[in-house]
Every structure is written in C-alpha cells, then in structure tokens.
Structure 1
Amino acid sequence: MLKFDEELFLRLVEKEGLQFRGQIEEIVDTISKKGYSNIFMIGAGGTIAMMYPYEYILKSNSTIDVHAEIAAEFLVMNHKHFSKDSVCIFASVSGTTKETLEAAEFCKEKGATTIALVAEPDTPLTKMVDYCITTGSEKHSFDTFFMLLYMFVFRFMYNRNEFPQYEQFTKEVSLLPRAILSAVKAFDKKAEEFAIKHKDTDYHMMVGSGNLWGNTYSYAMCILEEMQWIHAKSIHAAEFFHGTLEMVVEDTSVILLKGEDETRPLMDRVERFAEKITKQLTIIDTKDFAMEGISEEFRKHFAVSINWSVLSRISVYLERERNHSLDLRRYYRKMEY
C-alpha cells in the first residue's frame, strides 16, 4: 500500500499504544477517588474534532457532565461549568499548538486537573499538565490517540458504575489495531479509485452524524481544505435538510460517512435523498468492515477509529494524484496571524 508501513503501524499503535492502559487506569482511578465535577475535552482544529466522538459517547452512555470546547473560544467565553473541580483533557501531536497551550495554562492556573495526549516528547504541553501520555511519534498519532481516549472515557464511566463491561471492552481495544489494519487493506483500492476519479473535483460535501461527526468535520477542514486546498463543507446529517440539500445537483460530490450508532437512521435519510439527485455519491460505511473479534455492542464505538483510518488512505492517494503534498501550507505556521 502506498505510504503505509504495516510493521511500523503495528509497533506504534498496537505494541506501544496498548502499553499505556495501566498508566491511564491509574490516572483515572486517582482522579475518580479524589472526585471531580465534570470533564472538559479541549482542542483546536483536528484535536477538537478528535474530542467530539468521545463527547458524544459520554453524552449518550453516561451521566458524566462533559463539554468539548474549541480552545480559543473556551479562553474567552467565561464557561460557567468550568471550575477547579473540572478535569481537562487536551491533545496535540506537536505539543506546541498555541491555543491548546494557552488553554492548558489557563486550566492549570484555575486549579483544574489537566491531562494531555502528546506525540512529540519534551515539548511545552508535556511539561505543563498534571498527567501526560507521550506516544513518542507523530506517525499514526491520531490512530493511537483515538485508542487512548477510549481507555480514558470508558474508565471514567466504569468508575462511575456506568460501564460494567469495561474488562471485555478493554480486551477488545487490544484487537482494534488489527481491525484497523484489516479495514485499511480492504479499502485501499477504493481509496485509490476515489482519488483518481476526484483528483480535479473542486468541491465536496461531507455528511456525518453521531460519533462520526468529528471525523466529518476534521476531514473536510483539516485534510481537504488545509492539506489539499479543496473546497469542502462538513454537514451534520440532522441539519442536512435545513439548507444544504438545496446545493445538491447532478454532479455534486457528496460523501457520506456512515457509522453504527443510534444516529445511523439520520444518515440513511440523507442517502435516500442524495442517491436520487447526484451521480457523484460516495458512501463510506463502517458496516462494510469485519472488525474481527469486536463484539456487536462495541462496533459502534470503534467505528470512529475504523472510519478515520480508511479516510487516511484517500488522503495519500489524493496527494499522489493531485501532486499536492499533504505537508504543503500557504499560511499555517508560515506567518503571524
């Protein structure tokens, strides 16, 4: 597969990523024993998008009060639910994201408990928070972060007596890297075909819902717009029929990210509409992937990781077909703004 080192993936995500389970449990158990009022999941760009699935999971499976907040807005909004008793979770690949650092410093000064997931070691964010999981490599960092966040949020639920299936769930987390690898291999040809077909397409609608809304938002903005300079719009399936549907015509590229949670009927409704109008409908459905060893009840949660991994295959083929490096930027970290 183009730009995919299977051995490296398994080492970083399976072997090294899973080793943090004990550390995460110790962190969560210590916080739970001390007591906390709520959880804030804070990020910027791709990392706030990464938090949205876990906000959804907590809101739909737990009574824990949870807030996913964009770092820059959080700093100015005077959030009335935030206090010294809040638990604040951050993520940053580089450990240097300006808004995330400012938010972490703010939370620390207010006495809140701070946790960070960081890829690069010995960076500002790693030194700023109370607890830090440092994965050590930016390669496959999102795959690893997603997996670590499962461990965090479900441990918090378990300690609240809201998730008795925790032991079985964490056993299946250990199967997730292999399930991701299987999905990537199964989807690779389709990813290449999509990139060849759409290398000159100048606008995409991306539709998602539930725990895949964050991936939808992130892929449209951080990959198609930031990394490929392609016009894109992320649309929540629940809102699609309140405006965006009027922009769909015969040649509109509509990409549906279908998961397996409670919001799937919302995606089915968009699909029924779109297939009547456009000839450029792409459906990426996690139900198409085996996820060997994963229980039916947990598939909906792991759909987040599976979806992100297969989308990443589209990225590398778009990069090749469009001769546009995923690392190319006009402005981001190139100038002051």
Structure 2
Amino acid sequence: MNFNGESILNSYSKAVKQLPQISEMAEEINHKDIETIYLVGSGGAFTKYVDSRAILLKIMNTKIVITTPDELWNVYHDQIDSHSLLVFGTESGETKELIATLEKIKAAHLNVTIVGQIGSDHTVIDQKELYDYRISSCETDVHLVAFGWLMILLSQKYTEEELLKIQKSFTQAGEIIVEGLKKIFTAAQEMVNNVDLAKPQMWLTSGNLWGEVCCFCNYMLEEIQRIPAQGVHSSEFFHGPFELVEKGVPVFVVLNSGATRSEDVRVLNFLKKYTDQFFFLDMQEFDTSGLHPVVASFVECAALSEYFDTLLNLYTERTGRSVKTRRYYKIVEY
C-alpha cells in the first residue's frame, strides 16, 4: 500500500469550501439566544465530540452536553426548547437510533434548532428533513474543521480580525496533516506488519486526543479488525492497566503536543522498561506551530483521525478484514 495524500486533501478542501456557508449559518443561529448546545452522535461521531470537549469549555459560554441519541431523548427531552441547539453527526445518515430521536423531537414540536453534519448525500435523514441546517462532513461522521469553525463562530469570542486569521489557519492545515502523515507512514507500515495480531492491544493518550483513541479501539480494531483493544487515558494507566504490561504485550502511546503531554511521556518511559512491544506516535510530527492556537487544537485531532484511518487501511491489507466483512453490523437484528 502506498500513501495517498491526494484523497485526504480533496476531502479537506471540500470541508474548507463550506466555511463561508457555515459563517452565514452561525450568524443566523447567534440571533436565537441559544443557552444549551447538545452534541449528539454514536460511534465515531460521539468520540469526535469528546475530542472537542476541552476546547469548547475554553471558548464557549454556552452549556455543552455531549450525548448519544437515545440518551438525548430519554434524559434531556424535557429540557430541550427554543433556546437549545442540537448538533448531530453521522456518516451514513441512516443511523436508526438517531433518526428515531430526531423524529420524536420533530413530532413533539420542541422548536429546537438542529444542525446536521452528514457524510453522505441523499440520505434517509435528508429525505425526512430532520434538520434546519446541513453541513457535509465529507464522507466521515464529523469533519473537525467544519465543526470547529461552526463552534468558534457560535462562541462569539473572537474579533473579525481574529476570525480572518482563524479561517486562514484552517485553510492551511490540510497540507500540514498530509506532510505529517508522509513522514510517519513508513513507521506505521512497519508497526502494523510487525505487531502480533493474536494479542490484545492497549492504546493510550490524553488531552484532546482521548476520543480518537477510543474511536480507533472500539470501531476500527474491534468492530472491523476483530482485534481486542482497550483505550486507556494516560492519567489512568498507573491506576490499574499498567499491571497488564509485560514482554510480548503490545502497547501504543500517542504523545499529544498539549498541556498533558507529560502524562503520555511518563507512560512511554514506563513501557520502555517493561515491554519489548511498545510503539508510539509523536503528534509533534504535525507542525501546527504556525496555526492559530484554537485551530491547532482541532487540527491535531483531525490529524490523528487521518492517521488512524491510514492504520485501518494497513490492517485491512494485512488481514483482509474491512467494513465489508463485518458479521453483525447492519446484517442481523440487534
């Protein structure tokens, strides 16, 4: 398998082209006196929102709730009103739980504003007109660039001059992601080719990247590759999971470039002593130093997401397992 940066850049370009449209959308929403924003998704969409939690807590004065479709209705439906904004993400636009919840909200006439981030075209959600605004997530569940720009605008924290700098940073970031992936692609190939597929894997990181690690373990390694995998927050590693470490146990660490990097480094230093099967990715390979700080936070998550997509393709090349070989998902009743 050869690295194909062109497809990543094409997808990124599609997201960036939506920024003016998202600006108009945000301007309308900002006139609605929104008090609570519900970020709703399953699988990878949910973990993308988890990625952004720390960033949003810094920039937003609005209350943020990250939840699943079922939980949104069962727990929060009596709190949803005209001062609520619901933002959902879905790649297929056919997630049954999400559709059922959106239909309940529509039937209840709750007067909530709904933004849909949808990866495919002409979906069931489109046909049912279950949103007020639509953002293309460009063949994924939540495109972090489009989502990040929306939330930055809704924060109403930045001046027009700052917003121009932020928008420019978003347009530049695609090349940064691709250049970073080029540098680490050979190491990624070697890692996937050499890891013992019969052994469960443990993946660790901290900060904004935690959601991506959970996504990779749950929905790529386990769901698609059928490799048992555990995502562990670096700050929790020494509260139990480190007792599993020994020679032959594959453990992977993603070193983030943010405030919690020292937690990831501490884990890596331990692994070097006690296992011969440790692997790590340093996110400083993606040089975001020239980007606006808030953009850099979203872009680092997006870069790790692209890295994990690349790993999945490499695993598929080795195992023959892909989204087409799943045994249960959308195949049997559950």
* 1:269 Cα deviation after fit: 2.6
Change (3 A) 1:260 1:301: farther
* 8 Å contact from structure 1 (residues 179, 292) kept in 2: no
* 1:11 Cα deviation after fit: 2.7
Amino acid at match of 1:9: I
* 8 Å contact from structure 1 (residues 207, 235) kept in 2: yes
Change (3 A) 1:24 1:103: same
Instruction: Give yes or no for the alignment of 1:299 onto 2:301.
Output: no
Alignment partner, residue 113 of structure 1: 113
Q: Is the deviation greater in 270-279 or in 86-95?
A: 270-279
Alignment of 1:75-90 (within 5 A): 75-78=73-76, 82-90=80-88
Distance in 1 between residues matched to 2:113 and 2:21, nearest whole Å:
16
| Percent of pairs with identical residues | 23
Unaligned runs of 5+ in 2: none
Amino acid at match of 2:163: Y
Amino acid at match of 1:72: D
* 8 Å contact from structure 1 (residues 319, 326) kept in 2: no
Amino acid at match of 2:12: V
Alignment partner, residue 10 of structure 2: 11
* 1:259 Cα deviation after fit: 1.6
Q: Deviations over 1:166-220 (max 9, x none)?
A: 3211111001111121122112111110110115242111112221011011000
Distance in 1 between residues matched to 2:131 and 2:79, nearest whole Å:
20
Change (3 A) 1:111 1:161: same
Unaligned runs of 5+ in 1: none
Amino acid at match of 1:168: K
Change (3 A) 1:308 1:131: same
Alignment of 1:63-102 (within 5 A): 63-78=61-76, 82-102=80-100
What secondary structure sits across from 2:102 in the alignment? helix
Alignment partner, residue 205 of structure 1: 202
Distance in 2 between residues matched to 1:235 and 1:164, nearest whole Å:
40
Instruction: Give yes or no for the alignment of 1:251 onto 2:248.
Output: yes
Instruction: Give yes or no for the alignment of 1:316 onto 2:313.
Output: yes
Instruction: Give yes or no for the alignment of 1:191 onto 2:215.
Output: no
Distance in 2 between residues matched to 1:53 and 1:331, nearest whole Å:
27
Q: Is the deviation greater in 229-238 or in 255-264?
A: 255-264
* 8 Å contact from structure 2 (residues 176, 288) kept in 1: yes
Distance in 2 between residues matched to 1:162 and 1:83, nearest whole Å:
29
Amino acid at match of 2:284: K
* 8 Å contact from structure 2 (residues 165, 292) kept in 1: no
Distance in 1 between residues matched to 2:324 and 2:177, nearest whole Å:
24
* 8 Å contact from structure 1 (residues 114, 130) kept in 2: yes
Alignment partner, residue 39 of structure 2: 41
Q: Deviations over 1:7-57 (max 9, x none)?
A: 44333321x221111111111111112210111111001110111112221
Change (3 A) 1:27 1:231: same
Alignment partner, residue 122 of structure 2: 122
Change (3 A) 1:133 1:61: closer
Distance in 1 between residues matched to 2:292 and 2:26, nearest whole Å:
25
Distance in 2 between residues matched to 1:81 and 1:104, nearest whole Å:
15
* 1:247 Cα deviation after fit: 1.6
Q: Deviations over 1:247-291 (max 9, x none)?
A: 222222111122222222222232232222222111112112234
* 8 Å contact from structure 2 (residues 117, 135) kept in 1: yes
Amino acid at match of 1:96: E
Match of 1:330 among 310, 327, 330: 327
Distance in 1 between residues matched to 2:191 and 2:61, nearest whole Å:
41
Change (3 A) 1:164 1:285: farther
* 1:293 Cα deviation after fit: 4.5
* 8 Å contact from structure 1 (residues 93, 118) kept in 2: yes
Cα RMSD (Å) of the superposition?
Answer: 2.3
What secondary structure sits across from 1:262 in the alignment? coil
TM-score after normalising by structure 1: 0.90
Distance in 2 between residues matched to 1:216 and 1:81, nearest whole Å:
31
Amino acid at match of 2:185: D
* 8 Å contact from structure 1 (residues 199, 322) kept in 2: no
Distance in 2 between residues matched to 1:85 and 1:106, nearest whole Å:
18
Change (3 A) 1:255 1:82: farther
Distance in 2 between residues matched to 1:41 and 1:70, nearest whole Å:
8
Distance in 1 between residues matched to 2:261 and 2:159, nearest whole Å:
24
Amino acid at match of 1:11: N
What secondary structure sits across from 1:165 in the alignment? helix
Distance in 2 between residues matched to 1:81 and 1:57, nearest whole Å:
24
Distance in 2 between residues matched to 1:326 and 1:215, nearest whole Å:
18
Q: Is the deviation greater in 285-294 or in 301-310?
A: 285-294
Change (3 A) 1:162 1:280: farther
Distance in 1 between residues matched to 2:105 and 2:205, nearest whole Å:
31
* 8 Å contact from structure 1 (residues 259, 300) kept in 2: no
Instruction: Give yes or no for the alignment of 1:134 onto 2:136.
Output: yes
* 1:81 Cα deviation after fit: 5.4
Amino acid at match of 2:132: D
